[in-house]
Homo-oligomer: A and B are copies of this chain.
C-alpha cells in the first residue's frame, strides 16, 4: 500500500502542478529535501505568480520511531494505535496543497491526503489509516462556487458510501473552526482523520482516496477561472488581507498537522509553513458594514450551511 500510495500521490502532484502552471502562466519552483531522521519530500512552490500570490503543492514521505509519549498522544485521535509498546515504528506519507490567489474574489483552497502505518518492534504491521480532506476559504462568497465545490466532493464520496459526504462535511466544519473567534475558517468541504479497518478495508479506502484526490482539479479549476480576472477595489483587497490573517490564526493556533510538524525534530519548517499566505493583516476591531457582502460571509462562517 505504501508504494502504491506513494506512486499515486507523486503522479497527482505532477498533474496538479502542471494544471496550475497552465492557469497561472508561471512555473513552480521545485525543491527535493531529505529529513535527517528518515525520509524526505518534494515541495513545489509558486510565489508572486500572475494568478497565485502563493501556491504550494508538497509531498512528504517520512518514517522513524515513535517514543512512548508520542504514542500516547497519537492514541488520543487514533484508538487503534496500541499503547503496550515502548516504541513503534511509523511510516507516513501524504500530499498537501494550499493555493492563495491574488484576486480577493478568488478563494483560497486547501487539500491534504495522507496514509499512516505503525509497525511493532518485530516489523509486523500494527495498524494503518488514511486521512485527509479538502476545503475552500473565500473572502467573498459566491454561492455557485460553494455549491460546485461541495457537489464535486459529494460525487466522489457517494461513489463509495452515501454516508461519507454528510459525515465528512460535518467533520470539516467542526475541525476548521477558529474556536476563539466563533467562526469557521472557510465554507468547508470534507475532512476525516482516521479511515481504518473499522470503516472499510484498505483497498476500498485507497480507491476512495484516489477518487477524492482526482476530484480536486475539477472542483477548483472552474472556480479560479471564473474569479481570477474579476475587478476589485482597494477595500476588497484589504478585506482579503484581514481574512488571510484569520487563516494564519487557524493554521498556527488550531491546526493539529502544523503544530505536530513544528514540534517534530528535523522537520522542514519551510514546507510546513508553505501554507501561510504571502501577506496578511490584523486590524483592531475590524467590523464589516451591516448587510454588506463581507458581513454575509461572516454570517455563513458563524453558521455553516448545507450547500448540496
Taking beta carbons and an 8 Å cutoff, which residues of A are in contact with B? 29, 31, 45, 47, 54, 56, 180-181, 241, 245, 248-249, 252-253, 259, 262-263, 269-270, 273-274, 276-285
Contact = CB atoms under 8 A, between A and B. Distances in A.
Contact of A248 (B29, B47, B248, B285): B248
A284 B279 contact: no
B283 A278 contact: yes
B279 A273 contact: no
A282 B241 CA distance: 13
A153 B269 CA distance: 34
Given A29-B284, A276-B282, A280-B281, 4 more contacts: A45-B284, A181-B269, A253-B259, A278-B283
Nearest to A281: B279
A52 to B, nearest CB: 12
25 contacts: A45-B284, A47-B284, A54-B282, A54-B284, A56-B284, A180-B269, A181-B269, A241-B279, A245-B276, A248-B248, A248-B252, A248-B280, A249-B252, A249-B273, A252-B252, A253-B253, A270-B284, A273-B282, A274-B284, A278-B281, A279-B279, A279-B280, A279-B281, A280-B280, A280-B282
Nearest to A285: B270
B270 A47 contact: no
Nearest to A276: B282
Contacts of A262: 180, 253
Nearest to A250: B252
A280 B284 CA distance: 15
Contacts of A31: 285
Contacts of A276: 245, 282
Nearest to A259: B253
A281 B278 CA distance: 5
Across chains A and B, which 10 residue pairs bring their CB atoms closest together, nearest first? A252-B252, A276-B282, A180-B262, A45-B284, A279-B281, A252-B253, A180-B269, A47-B284, A270-B285, A280-B280
Nearest to A279: B281
A262 to B, nearest CB: 4
Contacts of A54: 282, 284
